Amino acid sequence: MMVVLGIDIDGTLANSVSPVVESLNISLGTSIMISNVRNYYLTKVFHGVSHEEVLRRFSDAWADWEDMALVDNSIPRIMDMLSERFKICITTASVGNGKNIQAWLEMNKIHFDEYIQVSHPDEKSEQEVDIFIDDFHKVAEMAVSSGKRAILLKQPWNADFLEKNQDRRIMEAHSWDSIERILRFL
Which of 87, 94, 89 has its CA nearest to residue 115? 89
**Helices (DSSP H) in the chain: which residue ranges?**
17-28, 51-63, 75-85, 98-107, 137-145, 159-164, 176-184
Contact assessment for residue 134 and residue 154, using Cβ atoms and an 8 Å cutoff: no
User: Other C-beta atoms within 10 Å of 89: how many?
Assistant: 20
CATH number of the structural domain 3-14+70-184: 3.40.50.1000
**Which segments in the chain show pLDDT lower than 70?**
none
Beta bridge partners of 70: 14
Beta bridge partners of 172: 152
Q: Alpha-carbon distance 82 to 98, whole Å?
A: 23
Beta bridge partners of 5: 88, 131
pLDDT the model gives residue 1: 80
Q: Which of the 8 DSSP states describes residue 10?
A: B
What does the domain layout of the chain look like in residue ranges? 3-14+70-184, 17-67
What is the separation, in whole angstroms, between the first and last Cα of the chain?
Answer: 15
pLDDT the model gives residue 21: 98
pLDDT the model gives residue 136: 98
What residue type is 70 in one-letter code? Answer: L
pLDDT the model gives residue 186: 83
